[in-house]
Structure formats: structure tokens, C-alpha cells
Amino acid sequence: MGKLRVLNDEVIRELLDFRRVLSLVEQAYSLKSSGEGSVFPLIVHDFEPEKADMDIKSGYLKGDINVFGLKLVSWFGDNVKRNLPALNGTIMVFDGETGLPLGLLTASYITCLRTGAAGGVAIKHLARQDSERLLLIGTGHQALYQLAGAVAVSKVRKVMVYDPLDYQSSVSFCRGAESRLDTILAFHDSAQASQLQLEPVRDIERAVGQADIIVTVTPSRKPLIKREWLQRGTHLNCIGSDMEGKQEIDEAIFSIARIFVDDLSQAIKVGEVEIPLKKGVIELEDIVGEIGDVILGKLPGRTSDEDITVFDSTGIALQDLVTAKHVLELAEEKQLGTVIDY
Ligand SMILES: NC(=O)c1ccc[n+]([C@@H]2O[C@H](COP(=O)([O-])OP(=O)(O)OC[C@H]3O[C@@H](n4cnc5c(N)ncnc54)[C@H](O)[C@@H]3O)[C@@H](O)[C@H]2O)c1
């Protein structure tokens, strides 16, 4: 009757090209804006607060893509003691025409690429065209892909790297970043790679003042950046806040910024805008809109070189689904993965 293809990260890594994911994520945001993509309400469950939880993000993409589905991610903190990864997830893809299941994919690598791509898309549409200096805050699993997103779409050459918990992590990150970046971006032009200057930084206030673009990618619950440190014209990508209570930047920044989100309903609940809204620093009307509306030209993004712009990414299922559908097609062409007939 039907065929379900099962893909693991090893196969997905072999097949996926980051620059292609960038354009797919941009397409997914656009489809959402044009009414061809829906994000369903987020489901979150705490098995044990601060120790074990899970969330389900789901959605539906119409048009040529025509799939619906979900990503379920679990976090079991004690897994580290068991020598197992704490964060695990799978993506399920269903055919939008028949409802039949098409694929089951491990979620780790797709999450890295689609989140890095989201950061890149926002920089492309919201940062100043002449941006050259990037401050990356956070050096964990997602950080390199955020850097890849920025480098792929901008003229960024100088990269300051700050780890809020451990300076040595910034040092190690910078040491390996160039070659790891090359494996993601496959620099066609080796000059592009060698022009990148990566520098670990200790003084975050100074680094914020020098940055044209700031990317925050930590699970922080306290602001890491103050409003008075920012220079005019800066663009901020807030990537880390994807759960109630997380906060990476001073809520006062929102009162002077043009604010964009990936999905309004989700961002209000779990995004970087959650706390400024709850504290009354901003009202709902102060959020200019969703990134898809900027991509389609329905809303102006940056209006001058003086604007401070913020993109609040909570991560939506449409990013996962568009990428998963693409990689399933590639796997079918190359006969990769495991196929279950049903
Ligand atoms: N928006 C999205 O689509 C999306 C996608 C994936 C992950 N995320 C979120 O991004 C964040 C980072 O993910 P990751 O996989 O890179 O995490 P990670 O654990 O691999 O790395 C976390 C980084 O933040 C630092 N850090 C840890 N705890 C901190 C704290 N309390 N305060 C400040 N810094 C702290 C660490 O030193 C490290 O540099 C998480 O909050 C994750 O949920 C968002």
C-alpha cells in the first residue's frame, strides 16, 4: 500500500546541503505568510521539572511541498550520567494529499541546519547590508550553524565569540571553527574562508558595542546583553529562547527595536518576546510582524541604517518539514535509508 522511509543523521548528513536548506527555510516562511503554511499549537510536557520534558511542534505545508507532520523532541537531563545524549528527537512526515506516512527521520542534524538557516534568512532580510562584525553568544551544538548562516548570506568577516559560562569554550570554538565551517558551507572560494577572523572575547559589553550583528544561542534565563551597550543599526538574532522563561537579552531592548518573529502565537508563549510582553515593556502591536511577511515584501523590515532590529526565532515545524521532505526525495533518488512497506 505505502512506503515509509526511515533516515538517520548519518544518511541525512550525506545528503543535505546547507545552502539549499537556507532557500527551503526561506520558502517555508514565505508559504506561511501567503497562507500556504500553518503552524499548529505547541505541546509541551514536563515529566519532571528541570529534569525531563518533551515538546511537539507540528504543521502543514500546502502547494508543491504538500506535507504535514511533526517533530517530537525530548530532553532527559540525567541521560548524561548514562552516557546518552540528553536531547533526542524524530520528525514524522505525512503526505498532504493522502495522509499516508512518508518518512521518519532523526531530528538532530536537520534541527542544526534549519536553525542555522533561519538565522541566515533573518540576517539576509533584516541586518544592514554593510554588516561585517558578528558577535556570537553561545558555543554549543547550534552555534556553528548560526555562524554558517551568517557567513552564507552576509559580508561578515570578523567574528567575536563569547561563551557566558566558560571562556575556554570560546577559545576551542574559534580554533576549530574554520575547517568545520568549510564542511558545512563547502567554500567555493577559499578566500572567503581565510578572510574570516575569529576571536574569543571575555568583555561582552565591549563586543556588543562593536557588533553589527549579534546572535544569541544559549538556554539562558537571564539577560546577557544590556540595552545601553548596543549601538544603533545593530541586528539581533535571538535563537536560544524556545521555552517559557528563557531570556537572552534585556527586555528594555524591545522598546527601541523593530521586532520580528517566526510565528506570532508561538513566540508570545515561548520566545524572546514572552518576557517583555509579560512585563508590559511592549504590547502585542509593537511586534512588527513575522519574517515571512518581510520576505514577501508585505512588511518593511529595516527602515534605516539606524534601526535596531530583532528576530525572535522559536523554531517552527515548517522548517523541519520542508527540509525533511527534501531529504526524503534525495534519499529515494539514491535508494538510501530503510524502507518499510505497509
Ligand atoms: N530557535 C530554534 O529553532 C532553536 C533550535 C535549536 C535549539 N534552540 C535553543 O538554542 C539554545 C542553545 O542550544 P544548543 O543545542 O546550542 O545548546 P548547548 O547546550 O549545546 O550550548 C549552550 C551554550 O550556552 C551556554 N550556556 C549554558 N547554560 C547557560 C546559561 N544558563 N546561561 C548562559 N549561557 C549558558 C553554554 O556554555 C553553551 O555555550 C537552547 O536554548 C535551545 O533550546 C533553539
CATH number of the domain enclosing 207: 3.40.50.720
Q: State the SS3 of 149-163.
A: HHHHHCCCCEEEEEC
- Same domain flag for 145 and 281: yes
Q: Tell the residue nearest (CA) to atom 44 of ligand 1.
A: 240
Q: Is 184 exposed, middle or buried (0-12, 13-18, 19+ CB in 10 A)?
A: buried
pLDDT at 194 over 80: no
User: Is 240 a pocket residue for ligand 1 (Cβ < 6 Å)?
Assistant: yes
Is 161 within a domain? Answer: yes
- Cα 139 to middle of ligand 1, angstroms: 8
- pLDDT value, residue 193: 61
Residue 186: which pLDDT band, with cuts at 50, 70 and 90?
confident
pLDDT at 191 over 90: no
pTM: 0.97
249 alpha carbon to ligand 1 midpoint, in Å?
14
pLDDT for position 178 = 87
Ligand 1 atom, smallest distance to 138 CA:
39
- Could you tell me if 205 and 234 lie in one domain? yes
Same domain? For 323 and 274 the reply is no
Same domain flag for 41 and 78: yes
Q: Is 282 exposed, middle or buried (0-12, 13-18, 19+ CB in 10 A)?
A: middle
Q: Which atom of ligand 1 is nearest to the CA of 165?
A: 37
Same domain, 304 and 329: no
**Structure confidence by residue, pLDDT tens digits, 137-146:** 999 999 999 9
pLDDT at 188 over 70: no
CB 159 within 8 A of CB 200: no
Same domain flag for 228 and 240 = yes
Inside any domain, residue 122:
no
Shared-domain flag, residues 157 and 59: no
Q: Look at residue 190 and tell me whether its pLDDT is greater than 60.
A: no
Q: Residue 172: which pLDDT band, with cuts at 50, 70 and 90?
A: very high
Q: Of 29, 142, 171, 269, which is best to mutate to test ligand 1, by the most ligand atoms within 8 angstroms of its C-beta? A: 142
Contact yes or no for 323/71 (Cβ under 8 A): no
Percent of the residues in the chain that have a pLDDT greater than 90, as a whole number: 94
45, β-bridge pairs? 54
pLDDT at 167 over 80: yes
Give per-residue pLDDT as tens, 19-38: 999 999 999 999 999 999 99
Does residue 136 lie within any of the structural domains?
yes
pLDDT over 70 percentage in the chain = 98
> Does a structural domain hold residue 146?
yes
Confidence of residue 187 (pLDDT cuts 50, 70, 90): low
Q: Is the pLDDT of residue 118 over 90?
A: yes
Number of helices (H), then strands (E), belonging to the chain: the values are 11, 16
Average pLDDT, whole number, for the chain?
Answer: 96
Give me the CATH number covering residue 13: 3.30.1780.10
* Predicted confidence (pLDDT) at residue 75 exceeds the cutoff of 70: yes
Name, in order, each residue with C-beta under 8 angstroms of 204's C-beta and a sequence gap of 6 or more. Answer: 137, 162, 164, 224, 225, 229
**Residues 248-262, mean pLDDT to the nearest whole number:** 98
Residue 160: is its pLDDT beyond 80? yes
- CB of 142 within 6 A of ligand 1: the answer is yes
* Domain shared by 156 and 300, yes or no: yes
Any atom of ligand 1 within 6 Å of the Cβ of 218: yes
pLDDT score for 195: 80
Same domain assignment for residues 178 and 68: no
Q: How many structural domains comprise the chain?
A: 2
> Which pLDDT band, with edges at 50, 70 and 90, does 192 fall under?
low
Domain interval for residue 82 = 3-110+318-341
Q: Is 242 in the pocket of ligand 1 (CB under 6 A)?
A: yes
- Based on the fold, state whether residues 184 and 267 are members of the same structural domain: yes
Q: Is the pLDDT of residue 307 over 70?
A: yes
Mean pLDDT of 41-51: 95
**Residue 51 near residue 40 (C-beta atoms within 8 A):** no
> Which residue in the block uniquely carries the three cell numbers 558595542?
209
Residue 239 confidence (pLDDT) above 90: yes
- 189: pLDDT strictly greater than 80: no
| Residue 184 within any structural domain of the chain | yes
Residue 118, domain member (yes or no): no
